[in-house]
Amino acid sequence: MTNYARLSEKSKQFHALTGYTLEEFEALLPTFRNTFLLHMKTYTLEGKERQKRSYVVYCNCPLPTIEDKLLFILMYLRKATTQDILGEVFGMPQPVANKWVHVLHPCLQKALAVLGAIPARTSEELQITVQQTYFQDGTERTIPRPKDEEKQRFYYSGKKKRHTIKNVVLINEQCKIVLLTQTCEGKKHDKKVSDEAGFDLPTGSCLYQDTGFQGFALEDVIIVQPKKKPKGRKLSQEDKENNRKISSVRVRVEHAIGGVKRYRIVKDKIRNWKGDFRDQVMATCCGLHNFRLNFRPWHYDPISVNS
């Protein structure tokens, strides 16, 4: 049976299973402990409002320590395995594993929010005052084929030839995600998603985007994007060279999305159907990515708009 005490002795395996080093795990742990205990003051493990009895760890609890609880939820997000297998790893039946997932995931998200790692979800929440270079891009995730015929048509993406959901992310020069739009159907155009988000950037900022955002612009913001190939014609060699230079800078947003999708819960076909879990888990994984960059920042060459 897996537990923190045993796994923490194997740093390489610990990193592979959670996506975090021991240092990062321990930095997140105190805030996670506080949010978990605060949650348990109000609710039971079944999600009902607590009446009289205070929370205590029951004698045969499969996750007896707060370290085990954080390990459990990080492994679930990192590997996105079925709850049967997850329960077998931690010594509990599948229904108990499901219960712990839906107790611990909101606690982890709140902990990341307290630490300032969760990105803004609306334009009102987005508080950007620093003039710098930003990047935006859309990312799709596959979902199981809905049983309802109307939902099948709603979520089917003709481009991807499967049922998908989509978010647009906005990142800064440090590759931290500062805005995550609400989850929508995958067939919706990237530009339309950004238009509906209605965000603004400080005057004089620069925004890199790909051709999927053709026509999107912000007031007093420099927009940089590759030149689209004219219909029936070819791009000049100069245009191709400029596109390559833009792509070499814009690749930061691809790296950031890859950093989020190291958590397979937002990379593989998500099987959890509960409420708005699909939307919330994307925000959590963006928060895990942002928090990790505090310890392992990425370094790039300085950006020059004229390059």
What's the confidence (pLDDT) of residue 48? Answer: 86
What's the confidence (pLDDT) of residue 94? Answer: 94
What's the confidence (pLDDT) of residue 100? Answer: 94
**229 vs 13, residue with greater confidence:** 13
What's the confidence (pLDDT) of residue 307? Answer: 46
Percent of the chain whose predicted confidence (pLDDT) is above 90? 80
Given CATH 3.30.420, say whether it is the number of domain 133-272: yes
**What does the domain layout of the chain look like in residue ranges?**
4-114, 133-272
Q: Give residue 123's pLDDT band: very low, low, confident or very high (50, 70, 90).
A: very high
Percent of the chain whose predicted confidence (pLDDT) is above 70? 99
Cα–Cα distance, 299 to 278 (Å, whole number): 31
What's the confidence (pLDDT) of residue 306? Answer: 53
Q: Give residue 201's pLDDT band: very low, low, confident or very high (50, 70, 90).
A: very high
- 129 pLDDT exceeds 70? yes
**301 vs 106, residue with greater confidence:** 106
What's the confidence (pLDDT) of residue 156? Answer: 94
pTM: 0.93
What's the confidence (pLDDT) of residue 305? Answer: 53
- Residue-averaged pLDDT of the chain: 92
What's the confidence (pLDDT) of residue 177? Answer: 97
Q: What is the pLDDT of residues 43-88, one digit of tens each?
A: 888 888 888 788 888 888 899 999 999 999 999 999 999 999 999 9
Q: What is the pLDDT of residues 229-272, one digit of tens each?
A: 888 889 999 999 999 999 999 999 999 999 999 999 999 998 88
What's the confidence (pLDDT) of residue 78? Answer: 96
Range 21-50 average pLDDT = 93
What's the confidence (pLDDT) of residue 274? Answer: 82
Range 14-41 average pLDDT = 96
Range 169-182 average pLDDT = 96
